[in-house]
Structure 1
Amino acid sequence: MIQNILWLTLETSPDDIPAMIAENDGLPRYFRIDTSLAAKPDHDLMKLALKNSDAKDLLVRLTNLGFSLYYNTTDESRFIRHDRVVHHWPAVKDGTFQVSDEGIVHQFERPESGTISRLVVIFSPINSKPRLIRYFRPSFATLMKYVPRDTAILRIADVGGVKGAFYLDTSFMPDNSSRIQRLIQSTIAEHGIDAHNVVLFGASKGGTGSLYHGLTGGWKFVSVDPIVTDSWYEQYENDYHFTAQGVFPRSKQEVFSELVGQTSLERRGESLNSVIVTSSRSPQYPYTSEIIHPLRDSLSVLDSGNPNILKHPDVAPKTIYAQVMAINTLLLGFSLPLGESAVP
């Protein structure tokens, strides 16, 4: 009989897990990891994995089996199987969040006007909370107040990976990006929205999502300091996003270099009517500049020189004015100067 819960410890070899699953006659619904032997046993497995290679190996193996950390307490981290997430997540169960036919968690906000002619699609930034909500961190919760009265908002969760799938494909979910594309397409079709009245928006990890899906689907986008390479976090932040051990089938560098190159050939000399908000003071700036170079004359790049921007997470909160301006400019069918422009 299949057990719903299998227990592991930090001393469990990841290579022993397949045998445990076979002996159990299949995947359990949950894995629980005893962390009592850790230097800080109250830390969740994600935190432990940043300094403990055994914890990291376990975390990656469970992630690639389709399990997500959803709870921790002293001496214990709990993981849930992917197909059980929507049955366990309170906001899904009470109807706050919806689930597409293909399993993409999302939330649709209707304008008070009752008329829907435009759409903003929002992708969430990084969150390290050891709960399912880290996959759906609220981004610009008050945006509805600052867009045209006929604008609806579609927020898309980023379930997958360790700290999110970056709205890309993962080794466990090789069609994740396609399912997200279809959710956007079906939402547009359901409400009869003209594709020219759609803007994708996100910051950081959400910026990765808006840039990728904007280029892939041909929609306008406002991407705020997107993460388009794994290099910096792997080299300087101890693989903080957990991208170095096979969670993703391809690196972001590969994905975006190919996508940008393909887009530049297909839409040569054509304005993309899209915006990247960034800052040369951000460590992501040189990576982004290199990756998007073939499209530089087709995009509006707003470079903030705000002296209070000292690191990547500073860019989004210090450039909100530019984000609102860019979103509304694109929603209303106007355009911004192409190429790079300095903003405060």
Structure 2
Amino acid sequence: MALAMDLDADDAAHADLAETRFVHLRHPGDSNLIHLSRRDPQLKALLLHLVGQGFLVYKFRNDDGAVTSFVHAKAAPRFWARHTQFGLREHDDVCYLLEKPAHAPARRLLVVFSSIPPVDQMYDAGFSARYLARNLSQAPKYMPWDTAILRIADLGGVVGAFYTDTLAQPDNEARVSALITRVMAELDIEPRHTVLYGASKGGSGALLHSLRTGLNAVCVEPILSDDYYVRRYRDSHFTCGVFPRDKRELFSAALATACPPARRLLIYSSQSPQLPYIRDIAMASAEGRNIAFIDVQNPAISDHPDVAPASLGLQVTLLNQLLCGVDVDPAQLDALRAANRS
């Protein structure tokens, strides 16, 4: 079987792609297959067929007809790292950026999990737009000077794997957690000076991997169920048919039993449509009593994407405190909750 195959959309569903690493798919339309699949059920079925076999969209061209190019997940991490100019690294099929302190060895580690990018980049053909949003882009200015920053790309699925296992990448969670442990060991950083952070999809990743590893975490309104985006936005996150289970099932199971102890802080907003899922899945869980929840009420919040920018000051406060190894005590939590009520 050829390493690369050129296919027409009508033929792709029946093609033998067992040993193929690159697929260049000719299809109707004037945009990439992700964009087009949002309004064409047949093209969405074709996209999910290829994603289910492990192929990820990485390029689009329209020189003489539309062509969306795919690379297989087995080759994608090294391919992506090799073809970027911004310091992307790869280990065990996980891509990441590691920014070390400029003037001294690192003594602390901030691990940033990527959110879903803005809507104008969400369905971009390129990996860097879809899988590596630069959240907290100014983090070195606002964290302790000896903090290293590990940004983990969410390479998988259509718009991301949510740092969980997918049908095509069933060991994704283990590899992501292992990368964090490896970087901590390489930099000789203690667990108490390591903090996982993410907002939205990144918040899902930060919470999940804190539960796996026992590392401290600041999670900003994590998405704990696929239900809202499947019903309200016709599966805008492309979760149906890509993951072995809904995130509700995943997080319900993860939160149902005792997890490695850690300081876990979850920022959410009662003004957001994600409230019912955070309440029913996280707050009501057995492990929920070990998570500190902070409700941010702000006139600027009308939807889920508003929560992270409206709570940035709170996030920076909590991250700095945990990176310095200082716990957030009950009195401080009460004060923070009161300060963030409208």
TM-score, normalised by the number of residues in structure 1: 0.89
* Aligned residue number for residue 89 of structure 1: 80
Q: Is the 8 A contact 2:221 2:266 kept in 1?
A: yes
Counterpart check, 1:248 vs 2:239: no
* Aligned residue number for residue 5 of structure 2: 5
- Provide the C-alpha distance between the structure 2 equivalents of 1:13 and 1:151, rounded to a whole number of angstroms: 47
Q: How many residues align?
A: 325
Cα shift at 1:279: 0.8
- Provide the C-alpha distance between the structure 1 equivalents of 2:5 and 2:43, rounded to a whole number of angstroms: 19
**Larger CA deviation: 45-54 vs 221-230:** 45-54
The one of 54, 59, 84 aligned to 1:71: 59
The alignment yields a C-alpha RMSD, in angstroms, of 2.0
- Code of the aligned partner of 1:86: P
Structure 2: gaps (5+ residues): none
* Aligned residue number for residue 192 of structure 1: 188
Q: Is the 8 A contact 1:126 1:204 kept in 2?
A: yes
The one of 129, 147, 154 aligned to 1:158: 154
The one of 324, 332, 337 aligned to 2:324: 332
Counterpart check, 1:262 vs 2:254: no
Cα shift at 1:8: 2.5
Cα shift at 1:148: 0.9
* Aligned residue number for residue 306 of structure 1: 298
Q: Is the 8 A contact 1:69 1:79 kept in 2?
A: yes
The one of 170, 173, 188 aligned to 1:174: 170
* Aligned residue number for residue 44 of structure 1: 32
Q: Is the 8 A contact 2:113 2:197 kept in 1?
A: yes
Cα shift at 1:12: 4.3
TM-score, normalised by the number of residues in structure 2: 0.89
**Larger CA deviation: 127-136 vs 199-208:** 127-136
Q: Is the 8 A contact 1:202 1:222 kept in 2?
A: yes
- Code of the aligned partner of 1:239: D
Cα shift at 1:55: 0.9
Q: Is the 8 A contact 2:255 2:288 kept in 1?
A: no
Q: Is the 8 A contact 1:87 1:93 kept in 2?
A: no
- Provide the C-alpha distance between the structure 1 equivalents of 2:319 and 2:78, rounded to a whole number of angstroms: 34
CA separation of 1:91 and 1:312: change in aligned 2, threshold 3 A: farther
Per the alignment, in what secondary structure is the counterpart of residue 49 of structure 2?
helix
- Provide the C-alpha distance between the structure 1 equivalents of 2:199 and 2:208, rounded to a whole number of angstroms: 12
The one of 27, 32, 54 aligned to 1:35: 27
Q: Is the 8 A contact 1:273 1:299 kept in 2?
A: yes
Per the alignment, in what secondary structure is the counterpart of residue 163 of structure 1?
coil
Per the alignment, in what secondary structure is the counterpart of residue 122 of structure 1?
strand
Cα shift at 1:73: 2.9
Cα shift at 1:204: 0.7
Cα shift at 1:13: 6.6
- Provide the C-alpha distance between the structure 1 equivalents of 2:274 and 2:8, rounded to a whole number of angstroms: 37
The one of 118, 121, 146 aligned to 2:111: 121
- Provide the C-alpha distance between the structure 2 equivalents of 1:91 and 1:140, rounded to a whole number of angstroms: 25
Per the alignment, in what secondary structure is the counterpart of residue 60 of structure 2?
strand
- Provide the C-alpha distance between the structure 1 equivalents of 2:188 and 2:79, rounded to a whole number of angstroms: 33
Q: Is the 8 A contact 2:114 2:198 kept in 1?
A: yes
